[in-house]
A and B are shown apart, each in its own frame.
Chain A
Amino acid sequence: MAKNGTNSEAYTTPLRRLLLAVVVLCLLGLFFVWRIDSPRVERFRAVVIDTVIPSFDWAMAPVTATVNLARDFRSYQRIYEQNQELRRELRQMTAWKEAALQLEQENAKLRDLNNVRLDPRLTYITGVVLADSGSPFRQSVLINVGSRDGIVDGWATMDGTGLVGRISGVGANTSRVIMLTDATSRIPATIQPSGQRALIVGDNTSAPPIDFLEDPDQVRPGDRIVTSGDGEVFPPGLLIGQVAQDPGGRLRTRLAADYERLEFLRVLRDHGARRVSNPSALILPETPPAATDTAVAEPAD
C-alpha cells in the first residue's frame, strides 16, 4: 500500500506541475485577452453574472430586507426627534409647494406661448437593485432588467431625483450600472447658472470632485450640476447634484441621488446615445473610411 502510494506520487507530481502550469497560463491568457479586448470578455462576464446572480436572488432579498429592518429599528429610538424635524421640514415644504405651483402655471403658460414639446423619446424602464459590486474598489450595482427588456449599454440611470450612473454590461436578465462614484466614471456636466462646462470625475468617494472646470471663480457652492450632453454620453439636463467645497478648497459634487438607499432605478431610454461595440470606437470616429475616401479622391480629381 505504502509502496503503491510512493509510486503514484512519483507519477502525479510532474502531472500536477503540468496541470498547474496549464492553469496558470490559461488564467494569465484570460487576463491579457481582457486587457487587450475588454468588450468581449466583459460580455462574457455579463453572461456569467446573468446566470449566477438571479439564482442568488431568492435568498438575497430576504437577507437584505432583514438587515434593513434591523437598521430601521435602530432609528426608531429617536423617533420623537425625527417627528419634530419632519414637522419643521413639512412647514417649509408647504411654502415651497405653493411657490412651485405658481411657477408650474407660469411655466405652462410660457410653454404654450412658445409651442414647446418635451422630448417624447425620453421614457424610462424601472428596475430593482439585485446586488452590489461586491468589492469596495468598484462602485456599481446590478439591476434586474436586461437586454430582454431592451436595455442598451450607455443609457443613463436615475433614482427618483438625480443621476446615479451609466449602464455598462448588459446580460439577458440583468445589467450593471457603473455609478458616478466609481473610479472609472467621467461624466461631462454643466454648472448652472454660470453655464460652466466640467467633468464629474468619480474617485471612489461619496462626493466626486469636479474637474476640468474653465473658470472656478464663477462657480459657487450650492450651484446646480446637470449633464451637458457633450460627447453624446447622456441626454442633456439630467440633475446630478450640487457644488460643494471640501475643507481643502476643492470643488466636489454633492450627489442628488440617495446613494445610501438605492432600491429602484430608472433607466432612461435614449436612442440617440452613442454605442460602443468595439474597443477603438471610443477614440476613433464611427465611420473613418468615408472621410479618408473623399480626402484621397479630391487630389486625384
Chain B
Amino acid sequence: MDIGLLKLWGMRLLFILTAFVVLFFHLLPLNPAPSHWAGPDVLVAMVFAWAVRRPDYVPVLLVAAVMLLADMLLQRPPGLWSVLVVCATEWLKSRERRQRETTFVLEWLTFAGTFIVITILYRAVMMILILVPGTLTLSLVQVVLTIAVYPIVVVVSYFLFGVRRSAPGDMDRLGRTQ
C-alpha cells in the first residue's frame, strides 16, 4: 500500500517534470522570426493520454496548475485554454470509467474529436471577446500535428514512463479497480 502511494506521487512528480521539459523546448529562442507552421501541443496530448490510462496520475488540481502555468509562460490568455483542457480531461476520465473496452483507434478518434472541439471553443470565445485568436491556418496545422503526434506520446508514456491501464486485479489507492 505504501509502495503504491509512493509510486502514485512519483508519477505525479514525473508528470510535472515532463511538463516543464515540454515548456522548456517551447521557450527555446531558436528562431524568433514568425514561422508558417505551428508545432503540436504535446502538453495537451500528454495530459489526455495519461488521463485516459491512469486518471489518478493526473488529478484536476494538477492539470489546472500545469495548464495555467503553460498559459502564463506561452503568452496565452490566462485561464481560457486551461479551463477547456480541464473540462475535456474530466470528461475523458468519466467516459473511461463507463466503457473500459476501448481499442486504440477509438481512443485516438476520441482524442481528435475532443481536441478539435476545444480548439473551436477556444477560438470562438476569443473572437466573441474581441481578442486576436491568430490565423486559422496556424490553428489547423496545430490541430493536425497534435492529432498526429498523439500515438507517439502514448507510446512514449507507455514504454518509457510505464503509464498503462491497470489490469483488472490491480487497485489504485482508493481500492477502485480501474
CB pair A35 B27 closer than 8 Å: no
With A136-B138, A183-B134 in contact, is A30–B78 under 8 Å at CB? Answer: yes
CB pair B69 A52 closer than 8 Å: yes
CB pair B73 A34 closer than 8 Å: no
CB pair A204 B34 closer than 8 Å: yes
CB pair B73 A53 closer than 8 Å: yes
Q: Could you tell me the distance in whole angstroms from the C-beta of A22 to the nearest C-beta in chain B?
A: 9
Q: Which residues of B contact A28 (CB under 8 A)?
A: 79, 83
Q: Which residues of A contact B29 (CB under 8 A)?
A: 60, 64, 129-132, 141-142, 262
CB pair A60 B28 closer than 8 Å: yes
Contact of A60 among B27, B77, B129, B132 (CB under 8 A): B27
Say if the beta carbon of A140 comes within 8 Å of chain B. Answer: yes
Say if the beta carbon of A109 comes within 8 Å of chain B. Answer: no
Name the residue among A9, A45, A132 with the largest chain B CB count within 10 angstroms.
A132
| A279 to B132 Cα, complex, angstroms | 18
Contact of A132 among B28, B76, B142, B174 (CB under 8 A): B28
Q: Which residues of B contact A140 (CB under 8 A)?
A: 75
Say if the beta carbon of A260 comes within 8 Å of chain B. Answer: yes
Q: Could you tell me the distance in whole angstroms from the C-beta of B49 to the nearest C-beta in chain A?
A: 20
Q: Mark A249-273, 1 if CB is under 8 A from B, else 0.
A: 0000000000110100000000000
With A5-B176, A48-B69, A260-B31 in contact, is A20–B26 under 8 Å at CB? Answer: no
Q: Which residues of B contact A204 (CB under 8 A)?
A: 34, 134-135, 138
With A1-B175, A8-B175, A184-B132 in contact, is A48–B32 under 8 Å at CB? Answer: no
Say if the beta carbon of A107 comes within 8 Å of chain B. Answer: no
Q: Which residues of A contact B127 (CB under 8 A)?
A: none
Cβ < 8 Å to A, chain B residues 115-157: 129, 131-135, 138, 142
CB pair B82 A138 closer than 8 Å: no
Say if the beta carbon of A244 comes within 8 Å of chain B. Answer: no
With A20-B60, A23-B61, A23-B86 in contact, is A139–B28 under 8 Å at CB? Answer: no
Q: Could you tell me the distance in whole angstroms from the C-beta of A206 to the nearest C-beta in chain B?
A: 5
Report, nearest first, the 5 A-B pairs whose CB atoms are least far apart: A5-B175, A31-B79, A137-B134, A136-B38, A30-B79
A-B contact pairs, 20 of them (CB 8 A): A19-B60, A26-B64, A30-B78, A30-B79, A31-B83, A52-B69, A56-B24, A68-B30, A129-B32, A132-B26, A134-B74, A134-B75, A135-B76, A136-B134, A137-B76, A181-B33, A204-B134, A259-B32, A260-B31, A260-B33
